Structure 1
Amino acid sequence: MASIVERPKKTGVTYQVKWRQDGAWQTENFGNPDSAGQFKGLVEAHGNQWPHGWIRGKGFVEPDEHPDDAPFLAWAHRYVDRLTGVEARTKSDYKRDIDKHFAGLLHTGPDGVERRYGGLVHSLRDGSFNPATVCTVTEDDVQDWVRVQEEGIRDPHNPKEWLVRKASPKSIANRHGLLFCIFQAAVDAPQPLRVTNPCAKSKLPRTDDQTEEEMCFLEHDEYARISAELRAFDPKAADLCDFLVGTGLRWGEITALQARDVNKRRKTLSIQRAWRRQEDNTFAVGPPKTRKARRVLALSDSQMDLLRHHLLGCQPEGFIFRGRDGAAWRHSNFYNRKWKRALDEAIKKGLTKRPRLHDLRHTHVSWLIAANIPLPAIQVRLGHESITTTVDRYGHLVRALDGEITAAVEAAMPPAPRAGLHAVKAG
């Protein structure tokens, strides 16, 4: 905590704010107690650190212009253009996020004045702001951007409409991650434009608060209801969903499966490719999502029987799961024509959940965890690059081993002394 010390001088009393920062005493002097009190509050609000932008003995001073400073948006696009090992579609998505979420929204109100909302800007001491540049953006500017992403901005002339819609914690974390990388490139440049990354200390909304809301886990009987409705009007669609929930494959992986990926003798399935969205918004078959997404899955006898039925008359490069025209299913077509229809019927008959197709992957994991399958094995089966991803998403489901855990703890602990009994020394 900071303190204020009065120091009498010939010219009057000086009010010194004093605090410890990283083990060393820091001080700043003021001519009146009100200014000292305000500064003391700023120091404490910054975790007993010098307030960002404050120069000792001068106050808040705008940073000097760097000779190589550049508009933030131009630098951000330059950063994306120079990325290597990144697909064109991914670069296009990055640039879309930069233009949409960092540049903000231009909106013309009823007064005919065009204003910008929600973008990353550099706030000045007088309450106004300037367009963001690589060098002028501060930690407070980034935190203000995070707050707007979290709270959104309503149209002042039509409160029922949003100018900037609220973003989920996960979306904010993803966008902030891109922002961090853009500024870090300025820090790591051969001739650095910045000394620190203004995103380094940002406080982001907690993403785990929405884990259970975003995922839908089906019990066996709940999925059976949906599968029965699917099978009633399209058995092939039901087979595809049964295989999804039985393997945990991603939609882009299962619809890219080809006959040559099945090893009938070993009863395995090789995941070698997936559908990927291209820069022009079309889809093409390419490598899986990550390096570890290339994997081999062991299949049960019933799953092999299902595949044999679909492999009849299929060429080695032919898709295993396909529509009537022999082409691979597209997610939107399958969802609207098959999944939604079956789901609506199941809900009419008592189903209380409305899962997405991707929730079949989550359901697969929940069934494995209920059967005491270890998370590292689940990580490999799902093709997660890191065990951290598996634990973060599904660790809260690991309750089946509670009995074994408490029994192990009980066995390891020394027996507690009984009430009323005392140790007696042998004579």
Structure 2
Amino acid sequence: MASIEQRGDSWRVVWRYNGDKQYTTWPAKSYAEQAKDLAEAHRHKIDADKVYREILEEADTVSDSTAMTFREWCQKWLPAKTRITERVRADYRAQLINHIYPPLGDAKVGLGDTPIDQITGLDIGAWVNAQRASGAHNKTITRRYSLLHSALEAAVRQEVIRSNPCGQTDFVRDQVAEDDVDQHEPVYLTHEEFALLRAGFDAKWWPFLDFLVGTSARWSEATAVAVEHVVAPTAKSDPKIRLWRAWKRGAPGSPRYLGVTKGRSRRDLRVTRNLYDAVMPLAAGQPKGTLLFRTASGTELDYSNFYKQVWRRGLRAAMQCPNHPAPDRGQPLEGARGRCRDYGGEKKDGTPCGARVKPGTTRCLPHSGPNPNAVAACDCPGVLRRWCTPHDLRHTSAAWLLSAGVPLLVVSRRLGHEQASTTSEIYGGLLPDADDAVLDVLGRAMQTEKD
């Protein structure tokens, strides 16, 4: 890593190239910082003479840039990317057009129309702050920033620019310095809460819910498991589930397809005998290639349909108290007539309902009876109090494992994270006991030295 040292009235930049120290000396700190950025952009594979030449030649050029704009660069870079699907390419293009190219905040010119060699760290920082001011959540900003960073980093590799201006910002993914808390917090259910959630669903969905929490699988992986991926136990081994593939989004307008899983390409997960016994009836007698979890017609489960038609219904049932049902939305009223909206009736989208009321009541037929979205306001036990999503079952599974003392690396492999640092970043807050253990070990070690 290159470093800057102040020596009297000058600044010296030092780095190593091919085992030898390289030095450049500058009359101003701004030149030194530029030299440091240049050395690091080349991953230190540049000698001092070339750094001098590039920076001094740049200083002699006129300020008007003739370089391509950032938009023009992306129009070359994005079609050339080889390790993404057409759907991802289309998503990247939409993010660039809608959120990165246009002017934001007080900017008169957007990043898209700025010459790529004129984009500075200040421009990137102003863009990040404008994203926040527009109401974008931290994770959303991180995704857009990552795309911006990748495009500029590719420009460095192709020697279109000398350094990536994103490296000149203090941006930290998913975080704001004041609180370092993202708006979307995962939900970790306790064992008791999961049991309450499960009880709210029709029994035919219990194996699927057990599978999600028992394997830590992503939705795209769980719904791609075929019957042959359920491996029976032997005298020497536990049953296993093979997470070898996942559903991928194709190009816009094209169907989803089966591809490799995210992170680690394949995982063979040992599972409990109870889980194996729960899913085996779904696989029994089915030909190879049949999806383990499927619709009545044998096709894959669609997340949106499942969430709207199954998940929300089961979740609401778990959040309602049988002893304190929600009140009827319609009230008897002698002589009531007209429209449901006349008495406060609304559709699902919140707009006034124009259907005619039932005679003698204040609601139409569809809006009569208890509100299906109502949740219990009582303090009775046996009622789920937290809203969650199917993906939170993956978070819940990880939380159960970590709280039981399973090593982080083992949990990371089970989750399919490519790096353990990803697991630590997401679930590090669930390991307070780890800090206690560190203090205990250090305390015992230091006490031993004193004795």
TM over 0.5: yes
Q: 1:146 to 1:291 in 2, by over 3 A?
A: closer
* CA–CA distance in structure 1, aligned partners of residues 435 and 120 of structure 2: 47
Q: Which residue in the other structure is 1:395 paired with?
A: 428
Q: How much does 1:285 deviate?
A: 3.1
Q: How much does 1:92 deviate?
A: 1.2
5+ long unaligned stretches in structure 2? 1-7, 14-24, 38-54, 322-382
Q: Which residue in the other structure is 1:174 paired with?
A: 143
Letter in 2 for 1:387: A
Letter in 2 for 1:183: L
Q: How much does 1:403 deviate?
A: 5.3
Q: Which residue in the other structure is 1:101 paired with?
A: 99
5+ long unaligned stretches in structure 1? 1-17, 28-42, 105-115, 124-128, 153-165, 419-427
Letter in 1 for 2:260: P
2:199 aligned with 1:228: yes
* CA–CA distance in structure 2, aligned partners of residues 405 and 141 of structure 1: 42
2:230 aligned with 1:259: no
Could you say which structure has the higher strand fraction?
1
After superposition, residues 207-226 of structure 1 pair within 5 angstroms as 207=174, 209-210=180-181, 213-226=184-197
SS in 2 for 1:372: coil
User: Among 126, 130, 133, which residue is 2:115 paired with?
Assistant: 133
Give the conservation status (yes or no) of the 8 Å contact 1:255–1:321: yes
Q: How much does 1:82 deviate?
A: 0.6
SS in 1 for 2:241: strand
User: Among 217, 231, 237, which residue is 2:205 paired with?
Assistant: 237
2:346 aligned with 1:377: no
Q: 1:417 to 1:103 in 2, by over 3 A?
A: closer
- Deviations along 1:148-200, one digit per CA (max 9) or x if unpaired, are 01221xxxxxxxxxxxxx222222222122212212222222xx332222211
- Deviations along 1:248-280, one digit per CA (max 9) or x if unpaired, are 100011111101111113511111111111112
Q: How much does 1:211 deviate?
A: 5.3
* CA–CA distance in structure 2, aligned partners of residues 47 and 211 of structure 1: 37
2:160 aligned with 1:193: yes
Give the conservation status (yes or no) of the 8 Å contact 2:213–2:394: yes
Q: How much does 1:387 deviate?
A: 0.8
Q: How much does 1:137 deviate?
A: 1.8
- Deviations along 1:33-68, one digit per CA (max 9) or x if unpaired, are xxxxxxxxxx8xx89968x9xx99xx9x973323xx
Q: How much does 1:207 deviate?
A: 2.0
SS in 1 for 2:432: coil
Greater RCO between the two (CA within 8 Å, min separation 6)?
Answer: 2
Letter in 2 for 1:97: Q
* CA–CA distance in structure 2, aligned partners of residues 371 and 76 of structure 1: 47
SS in 2 for 1:214: coil
Q: How much does 1:142 deviate?
A: 1.5
SS in 1 for 2:165: coil
Please tell me the root mean square deviation across aligned C-alpha atoms, in Å: 3.3
**Structure 2 length normalisation: TM-score?**
0.68
2:230 aligned with 1:250: no
* CA–CA distance in structure 1, aligned partners of residues 107 and 153 of structure 2: 16
Aligned-pair identity in percent equals: 28
Q: 1:184 to 1:405 in 2, by over 3 A?
A: closer
Q: Which moved more, 1:350-359 or 1:215-224?
A: 350-359
How many residues matched?
344
SS in 2 for 1:275: strand
